[in-house]
Structure 1
Amino acid sequence: MAEHEAEADELEQALRRAVHGDVSFDAASRALMTMDASNYRRVPTGVVAPRDADDVTAALAVCREHGVPVVARGAGTSIAGQATGLGVVLDFTRHMRSIRSLDPERRTAVVQPGVILDDLRSAAGAHGLTFGPDPSTHSRCTLGGMIGNNSCGSHSVAWGTTADNVHALDVVTYGGERVRAAQGLDALPARLRDGMRSLAGEHLALLRTGFPDLPRRISGYALDELLPEKNADVARALTGSEGTLGVLTEATVRLVEAPAARALAVLGYPDESAAAEAAHTLLPYGPLTVEGMAADLVAGASGLPKGGAWLFVEVGGTGREEAYARAEEIARAAAHATTDHTVVADPAGQRALWRVREDASGTATRMPDGSEAWPGWEDCAVPPARLGAYLRDFRALMAQHGLRGTPYGHFGDGCIHVRIDFDLMREAGVRVFRDFSTDLADLVVTHGGSLSGEHGDGLARAELLPRMYGDEMVGLFHRFKDLWDPANGLNPGVLARPRRLDQDLRFDVLPRRPVDVEFGYPHDGGDFSAAVRRCVGVAKCRNESVSGASVMCPSYRATGEEQHSTRGRARLLHEMLAGEVVRDGWRSEEVRDALDLCLSCKGCRSDCPVGVDMATYKAEFLHHHYEGRVRPAGHYSMGWLPVWLRAAARLRAAPVANAASGIGFLSSLAKRAGGIAPERDIPELAREPFTRWWRGHARTVADSPETARTVVLWPDTFTNYLSPSVGQAAVRVLESAGLRVVVPPKPVCCGLTWVSTGQLDRARRVMRRTLDVMAPALDAGLPVVGLEPSCTAALRTDLPELLGSDDPRAARLASSVQTFAQALETHAPDWQPPRVDRPVVGQTHCHQHAVLGDAADRRLRERAGLTGELSGGCCGLAGNFGFEAGHYDVSVACAEDQLLPSVRAADENAEVLADGFSCRTQLDHLTDRPARHLAELLAERLR
């Protein structure tokens, strides 16, 4: 161990001297790179983020001198394991991500390997062009990764694979040669030129006959591209080589004309086999996509026509009418076999349907009963005309091995994605995984297919390449690898001389017994390890921009650092449980630092395709990390905020406290003692808490009719002590709607502030005391109306998940909680709100988006004449987060992502709407536009 650490230290120092980019050998940086989106895990020695091609060359020289292998990595969304590796990982997502040039006339672009696909598409879109291949990870995958894997995406029926769209590649070999790969061999170094001529010339017959003829043949090296009739296209031969031959530093890619308008025909079929049989018959109509999925994957999705399976068939046109007509033509042509169809020409409607398909790589990781499913055989491909027969045999093979999965994918190209419920935590399950893999490889070959139809072979399938190609062709693969990389320094164990497919599984290092935790994790059988395993690495949290109402992941968008993404944090928790790289368990500083900038917005709970709930994981970690230790000051000041505010109210100390907060040195002392950011203003305390006002109001209000529905208005801490006008307004509105309002007779609290700071023992005590107070209301079946979204969400989720089955009252309270708008819609459906008739601007509260839903709020706003859409994202204050010292800059950056620009751009007559106290406070601190709760807007217009 000591010798290895000394060697690593020597390597690190040598790289720091040679490279201008970032060199990271710390435990956190290594832990973040142990996995991609596959079943595999390999621990690197260090990570280098090169700034340019010279840095790549210098890093390779140092690694070569030290005999250390190198793995090039983009966004790490590969599902076959080829983005994991030993030695040094070259991370291209930090610096080498520029579009060097774009030529609209020649329809080419020159890009660095770290360019995100959507950035290229956006730049090309300004000229009516696009890059054809578009995997579902298009918002975060990199061009380098796409070239390494020969990615395809849903539009390959029209525009082909990445190899079909590559013109030239600039690579550096492990030996230090800079190579320009294009068509022809003459410009190559003599060693490579002569070697490839010899390899191709000696095996012309095998190269012409040994590769299956199908659109999605991705497996192995594309040696047939070296044939003379193809003009020895070296760039295409290197595309799909998974970083085993050279490290890409620049690529010249082809662009295609983007249709001016698109329409989507969604065709329903009785079952998956019928959809698969029909897919290839639609190709003569020139579609852009023919995607398929079955009901077991998209249960509950709206907008789909009647059927048990569907084909998504997209077409283009010069305008919306032409695109719609072409889609209708396809629907009519397919009508003899379909159960129903719908045609969508509206871009927003199309995006909503495509989102169902793009999230499938995550949603498919859970079976309908909640059990886990895994990649490994994610993308086999067969000739499209054989897809129906192959799928029937595939289903039969799964049943034979006692496995389940939900196939979906690129039916028009004969390529199937599937996650299968392998039991990779036990030896017996791993044996089934291996046996099934070998049997399926034989089945794919029987149908004339390719083991990989999109994501490459990696660690998952390379061992089985002899079954597809035979020993002689695989021998040529080894020869090709040795020609380019004789030292075997680039991504060893991948493609050529591969490791066994059941080695390096990421589950091997996890504990086999459930970890002792506080939350119930009901969706993961109470197993924290299973909860952490939810993250399969599809990296939707790495989106650098958000659209619509999405939230995840604001801290990543603010910092751009992997450790501040939901995936990065999940990886560190995985390594904490493994104990190999992150060795301090719950005391880990690496995990603590990564979670420090988690806003607990809960956006990942809804936006992550697999439902990772990092806010809960953070609370769990903080509980154990600080157990028996002194906590940060903010945990005492803001974590115990309900106690301090209640005490101030009893002492009627609001005037004194507010005056003191306005005195500079007293305010500074208070903030320093409380761990509060010096840039923040301390919110004013209300002179009269809501509950005190309520007692006076209740004495004066006339008795409601006996038929009136009674609702319990929840006096959360923020409404009660800091923003009582919201509670007063809500009472006016609810009573005007004919409802009888009551308030709990004693103080209640959801426990949110203790949960968010990881003080879970205290949170439980607070919650149980609250349940005691609420018992009569629960027994009476009264609905509970929440005004503060974060507290309402805590009652819905944190309270039952923390108390679990120990107290059945927790589930009863959670199920009775409604938002303000939901309560009005449910219990006063005939009430007409007052007309406000104003545009609104603001942000949907992240907890409402993630937990509560805002459909009722939208409908209420519409009925009140409030027009306009609220933005997504997170305000950045997020309860205690934005007040804590050291978080101010990130807090503001989160607000600048969507909220502040939308408010600045709004009409001066627009109402700024923010139901959350944190959101209103952030706007008060950073803008001159006051924000109000929806209840306040409505109450103001009441007669």
Structure 2
Amino acid sequence: MTTATRGPAGLTARLAEIAPGLRVETGPGATGPYAYDASNYRVPPRAVAFPRTADDVVAVLRACREAGVPVTARGGGTSMAGNAVGAGVVLDFSRYMNRILDIDVEARTARVESGVVLDVLRAATASHGLDFGPDPSSHSRCTLGGMIGNDACGNRSVRDGRTSGHVEALEIVTADGVRAVADHRGLHPVDPGDAGLVARLEADLRRLVEENLEPIRTELGRIPRQVSGYQLHHLLPENGFDLARALVGTEGTCAVVTAATVRLVATAQASALLTLGYDDVVEAAEDVPEILRWSPSAVEGMDEAIVATMRARRGPDSVTGLPEGRAWLYVELEGDDQASVTARAAELLDALKAAGRMTGGRVVESATERRSLWRVREDGAGLAARLVDDGGTARSSGAESGGESWPGWEDAAVAPGNLAAYLRDFRELLASHGLTGVLYGHFGAGCVHVRVDFDPASEAGQTAMRRFLTEAAALVVEHGGTLSGEHGDGRARSELLQVMYSHRMIAAFAAFKQVFDPDGLLNPGVVVDPAPLDADLALRELPLVETSFTFPHDEDGLAGAVRRCVGIGRCRSDAGGVMCPSYRATGEENHSTRGRARLLQEMVRGETVQDGWRSTEVRDALDLCLSCKACSSDCPVGVDMATYKAEFLHQHYKGRLRPRSHYSLGWLPLTSAVAGYAARPVNALLRGPLGKLLARLGGVTTRRRIPAFASRHALRRALRTARTGEPARALLFVDSFTRAFRPEIAGAASRVLAGAGIPCAPRDGLCCGLTWVSTGQLGTARRVMSRTVAALDDGDDRPIVVAEPSCAAALERDVPELLGTEAARRVADRVHTFTGALTELADQGWTPPPLPETLVLQTHCHEYAGFKGRRPADLLRRLGVRDVDEAEGCCGLAGNFGFEAEHYDTSVAVADLALKPRLDALGGRTVVADGFSCATQIDHLAGDRGVRALHLAELLDPAADLPGETP
């Protein structure tokens, strides 16, 4: 190592010299999130590089070889065995090297860069009737490079096998910076000048195989999912020295893959899904051999605890279509003709009923049910990490676990015919160690996922974990299986390879790596010369952090809350659900829910991030969080970044001057009440030059129109038309936004609710405290909330209906979690959104006025996240709207966020993801948006075209033709 490149600054300078334009990050705010993947491990890197071309990768590898610095290649960072963390330079391929280079429809191949996300490739090939076969559950964010590194499989591996079976060629860079192509015939140089080096490397590999024919033939390739170790059997003479497939599954320890040519498969023309219920997973496994006789495309197993957690987190309707049972199999059949596939499914169901092990079974006809069933299976790893009991609270499986479980032995595999016997013995092994684990996974391929309630934070827990893993390795080998069936060995299992393989085979693995990486710089500590499986564990016992929020669902307060993130990265998806809008807009890891949670974990640890609450790195990472709360619902482990951000801002600015927008927007309920006394002159002032000056002084963007304030009499006039004289069954909470900007909605809501059999008494003059929460002014928020709770918890137990979804969410969740009192919880239990009230409280005979057949809907993120099963889209469909075109995703305004000058561009970029395209293609359809922020963003984007968003109350208002009030 040279002196010039010994430290991060020297290495960065060297890279800038030989690779101008290469982005390299070395600060704790950038490297902190890359210290983790989806495993138990934490290894802070020296630097993170973001290559754009293969030449950038060459430069990094050459500079790191000069300096003796290790290199770890990384895709989506979803590795569950510690495969994608390293102490040197981490190469993030997902940021820029994510292009599809070519699709050859006739040859059924695609050439892609390593950072291409699987779903992006599948979307590009779908129009040609083609697909990439392997489909891991992380398909929405895992990259092809990562799949190649681990030899990933997926739900349909019964049909499609492993990634290695679909690789035609790999474009690699060796440890010394030589570019080459590995294919089915060997290794070929990209630069003719490297031909001699490449020829010697290939000759060394051929000699290695000749010297180890016996162990390679007898120990490798024994079962379908044997991923552990290196797949040297592809280099056997009878297999044609297929170096491309031999390099798949090497986990970045032998070469860095920059691009790949992969084979595509035809998309099935017809399919049928069966759901089969059983008393337990062992009973389900007993039926697998019979099911495999029917040539299914997928046979997936799942435990009841995962289903219960999904329903608790996303509502009872999030999982439908399951028969009675405590464990289930999904069986998918495919073919060219729907009638024949459906007939086969019925015949299989009859055969399994005759076997007598099922508690029930059915063919799932509904496309919606099929999507929901696959969603719960795909979220299995995250759901199993934080299980809930039947009551919806965290399941406690140990004194300090708080319902947490961890990977480490999460993807062992056996031959499918041995699965039931293995599972029976494995459960006995768990019980003998006093551990529990939720079993699920690819039963048709004999691969079982399990997260175990280890205690990796304590020394005693680590010792117990090591003892269990060693015995589990011996058990799976006894059943003829493999330590890893798809996630790779990584740091979790490489040390245990000696239990599975002979000394001679282990030596052959070492020799294979030595040929490619003689200095041991590529992902060291993995597969060859492994690090101890209990080294570099991320979890440790930490002191409690004093906070304002109570974090009632996390035993360790904030530390336990941010530890919810286990790194599976669903927040890095570009589609599906609502989270994470800032990541979708920027593509930066630090702007994902995971990246922020990991940086908060670093802050709590106090090592890489040493400034605690004063950390500018954490502040900057949280800056683009829109506080949309979608992660609290979409994240399988329930990370709630909006709450964490509010707590951080409160602590960060305690006793210090805040950003100007915290005052101008955070105190909006008070200033808007004052403005109501002189609405007309205030509005005129704000529309002129002085208004722009005031906006700048308040940190508010001048690129938006300031919404007009309503007069303080407007609400009284709006409610006057809604009086029915009937006894009130509920309270209508008139929130600050409705009172200040849209009082007509209070009138419309009152009329609709009365017509639905829910006459309401308006309750004005109270505030939920939302704006103070979102700007981190929690002291003021607590005072405001306390007054509101005292006024509402006065012995009245009637439902509280809130027209503004964000205020309903604040009353339902923020108020009890910040105040922590029984009174706050009683008030929260009474809260309904407008949609929720019509869904749960309306008279059965209520009939709304005629509605449009089709409309565009923007659901408020807080309503999406916090009110499961009570969303506007569901209600509108039940009321007869045939086509609800929902802009699934955040509108981008998000309360104060989109009004802050520095966030305007991000706000519009988020709107461009889902909302704006629908407004651009509106075609005269009605637009519905209950949230004030959503309606304001719609006005900003399309108001000049005459587009105005209606609140659901206005859409359903029987007096909708009445003239609206103008301030």
TM range (shorter): over 0.9
Indicate the larger mover: 201-210 or 879-888.
Answer: 201-210
* Superposed displacement of residue 497, structure 1: 0.4
Per-residue deviation, residues 683-726 of structure 1 (Å, max 9, x unmatched): 1000245554478669xx4632xxx4521100100001111010
Per-residue deviation, residues 840-871 of structure 1 (Å, max 9, x unmatched): 21211111110013536445424544332222
Per-residue deviation, residues 219-251 of structure 1 (Å, max 9, x unmatched): 001122221111111111110000000011121
Q: 2: distance between equivalents of 1:925 and 1:577?
A: 40
**Residue 866 of structure 1 is aligned with which of 881, 884, 896?**
881
**Residue 644 of structure 1 is aligned with which of 665, 671, 680?**
671
Task: Report the counterpart of residue 551 of structure 2 in structure 1.
Answer: 521
Distance 1:935 1:398, change over 3 A: same
Which secondary structure does the structure 1 equivalent of 2:110 belong to?
Answer: strand
Which secondary structure does the structure 2 equivalent of 1:573 belong to?
Answer: helix
Q: Which amino acid is 1:818 matched to?
A: H
Q: Counterparts in 2 of 1:297-316, with a 5 A limit?
A: 297-299=306-308, 300=311, 301-316=319-334
Q: Counterparts in 2 of 1:254-265, with a 5 A limit?
A: 254-265=263-274
Is the aligned partner of 1:339 residue 2:378? no
Per-residue deviation, residues 728-772 of structure 1 (Å, max 9, x unmatched): 11112222334342123x621111000000001110000011112
Task: Report the counterpart of residue 362 of structure 1 in structure 2.
Answer: 382
Q: 2: distance between equivalents of 1:924 and 1:754?
A: 25
Indicate the larger mover: 898-907 or 593-602.
Answer: 898-907
Task: Report the counterpart of residue 896 of structure 1 in structure 2.
Answer: 912
Q: Counterparts in 2 of 1:12-23, with a 5 A limit?
A: 12-19=12-19, 20-23=21-24
Q: Counterparts in 2 of 1:590-629, with a 5 A limit?
A: 590-629=617-656
Q: TM-score, normalised by structure 1?
A: 0.95
**Residue 260 of structure 2 is aligned with which of 241, 251, 254?**
251
Q: Which amino acid is 2:321 matched to?
A: G
Per-residue deviation, residues 487-525 of structure 1 (Å, max 9, x unmatched): 1110111110000000000114xx522111111111112
Task: Report the counterpart of residue 296 of structure 2 in structure 1.
Answer: 287
Task: Report the counterpart of residue 435 of structure 2 in structure 1.
Answer: 403
Q: Which amino acid is 1:907 matched to?
A: G
Counterpart contact for 2:275–2:321, Cα < 8 Å: no
Is the aligned partner of 1:731 residue 2:758? no
Q: 2: distance between equivalents of 1:900 and 1:627?
A: 38
Counterpart contact for 1:218–1:456, Cα < 8 Å: yes
Aligned length: 922
Which secondary structure does the structure 2 equivalent of 1:582 belong to?
Answer: coil
Task: Report the counterpart of residue 177 of structure 1 in structure 2.
Answer: 178
Distance 1:186 1:898, change over 3 A: closer
Counterpart contact for 1:677–1:888, Cα < 8 Å: yes
Task: Report the counterpart of residue 167 of structure 1 in structure 2.
Answer: 168
Task: Report the counterpart of residue 920 of structure 1 in structure 2.
Answer: 935
CA RMSD of aligned residues (A): 1.8
Distance 1:695 1:287, change over 3 A: closer
* Superposed displacement of residue 942, structure 1: 6.8
Task: Report the counterpart of residue 677 of structure 1 in structure 2.
Answer: 701
Q: 2: distance between equivalents of 1:93 and 1:934?
A: 40
Counterpart contact for 1:263–1:324, Cα < 8 Å: yes
Distance 1:493 1:935, change over 3 A: same
Task: Report the counterpart of residue 237 of structure 1 in structure 2.
Answer: 246
* Superposed displacement of residue 4, structure 1: 11
Q: Which amino acid is 1:179 matched to?
A: A
Counterpart contact for 2:320–2:372, Cα < 8 Å: no
Q: 1: distance between equivalents of 2:28 and 2:696?
A: 32
Task: Report the counterpart of residue 793 of structure 2 in structure 1.
Answer: 775
Counterpart contact for 1:835–1:864, Cα < 8 Å: no
Counterpart contact for 1:74–1:142, Cα < 8 Å: yes
Counterpart contact for 1:214–1:449, Cα < 8 Å: yes
- Aligned residues with identical type, % of pairs: 51
* Superposed displacement of residue 61, structure 1: 0.8
Q: 2: distance between equivalents of 1:180 and 1:702?
A: 78
Which secondary structure does the structure 1 equivalent of 2:902 belong to?
Answer: coil
Q: 2: distance between equivalents of 1:834 and 1:142?
A: 48
Q: Which amino acid is 2:738 matched to?
A: T
* Superposed displacement of residue 98, structure 1: 1.3
Q: Which amino acid is 2:65 matched to?
A: R
Which secondary structure does the structure 2 equivalent of 1:605 belong to?
Answer: helix
Task: Report the counterpart of residue 662 of structure 1 in structure 2.
Answer: 687
Q: 2: distance between equivalents of 1:625 and 1:382?
A: 52
* Superposed displacement of residue 880, structure 1: 0.4
Counterpart contact for 1:263–1:346, Cα < 8 Å: no
**Residue 581 of structure 2 is aligned with which of 547, 554, 560?**
554
Is the aligned partner of 1:350 residue 2:370? yes
Is the aligned partner of 1:847 residue 2:862? yes
* Superposed displacement of residue 822, structure 1: 2.5
Which secondary structure does the structure 2 equivalent of 1:785 belong to?
Answer: strand
Is the aligned partner of 1:794 residue 2:794? no
Counterpart contact for 1:381–1:453, Cα < 8 Å: yes
Q: 2: distance between equivalents of 1:574 and 1:535?
A: 9
Q: 2: distance between equivalents of 1:42 and 1:526?
A: 23
Which secondary structure does the structure 1 equivalent of 2:66 belong to?
Answer: helix
* Superposed displacement of residue 5, structure 1: 10
Which secondary structure does the structure 2 equivalent of 1:493 belong to?
Answer: coil
* Superposed displacement of residue 824, structure 1: 3.3
Indicate the larger mover: 826-835 or 528-537.
Answer: 826-835
* Superposed displacement of residue 116, structure 1: 0.9
Q: Which amino acid is 2:331 matched to?
A: V
Counterpart contact for 2:755–2:846, Cα < 8 Å: no
* Superposed displacement of residue 936, structure 1: 1.1
Counterpart contact for 1:279–1:311, Cα < 8 Å: no
Q: Counterparts in 2 of 1:810-821, with a 5 A limit?
A: 810-821=824-835
Q: Counterparts in 2 of 1:170-569, with a 5 A limit?
A: 170-185=171-186, 187=188, 189-211=198-220, 213-299=222-308, 300=311, 301-336=319-354, 337-368=357-388, 369=395, 371-508=403-540, 512-546=542-576, 550-569=577-596
Distance 1:447 1:6, change over 3 A: closer
**Residue 600 of structure 2 is aligned with which of 573, 576, 597?**
573
Distance 1:230 1:872, change over 3 A: same
Indicate the larger mover: 855-864 or 599-608.
Answer: 855-864
Q: 1: distance between equivalents of 2:751 and 2:329?
A: 51
Q: 2: distance between equivalents of 1:185 and 1:841?
A: 55
Counterpart contact for 2:150–2:249, Cα < 8 Å: yes
Q: Which runs of no fewer than 5 residues in structure 2 stay unpaired?
A: 190-197, 312-318, 389-394, 396-401, 962-967
Is the aligned partner of 1:125 residue 2:126? yes
Q: Which amino acid is 1:850 matched to?
A: A
Per-residue deviation, residues 441-494 of structure 1 (Å, max 9, x unmatched): 000100000000000000000001000002221111111111110011101111
* Superposed displacement of residue 821, structure 1: 2.9
Q: 2: distance between equivalents of 1:867 and 1:346?
A: 17
Q: 2: distance between equivalents of 1:223 and 1:789?
A: 58
* Superposed displacement of residue 902, structure 1: 1.8
Q: 2: distance between equivalents of 1:272 and 1:697?
A: 60
Q: 2: distance between equivalents of 1:130 and 1:604?
A: 29
Counterpart contact for 1:835–1:863, Cα < 8 Å: no
Q: Which amino acid is 1:625 matched to?
A: H
Q: 2: distance between equivalents of 1:891 and 1:262?
A: 41
Counterpart contact for 1:689–1:724, Cα < 8 Å: no
Q: 1: distance between equivalents of 2:50 and 2:532?
A: 29
Counterpart contact for 1:82–1:242, Cα < 8 Å: yes
Which secondary structure does the structure 2 equivalent of 1:285 belong to?
Answer: coil
Q: Which runs of no fewer than 5 residues in structure 1 stay unpaired?
A: none
* Superposed displacement of residue 352, structure 1: 1.5
Q: 1: distance between equivalents of 2:880 and 2:481?
A: 58
Distance 1:191 1:5, change over 3 A: closer
Q: 2: distance between equivalents of 1:335 and 1:97?
A: 47
Which secondary structure does the structure 1 equivalent of 2:410 belong to?
Answer: coil
Q: Counterparts in 2 of 1:905-916, with a 5 A limit?
A: 905-908=921-924, 910-916=925-931
Counterpart contact for 1:691–1:715, Cα < 8 Å: no
* Superposed displacement of residue 616, structure 1: 0.4
Q: 1: distance between equivalents of 2:839 and 2:529?
A: 64
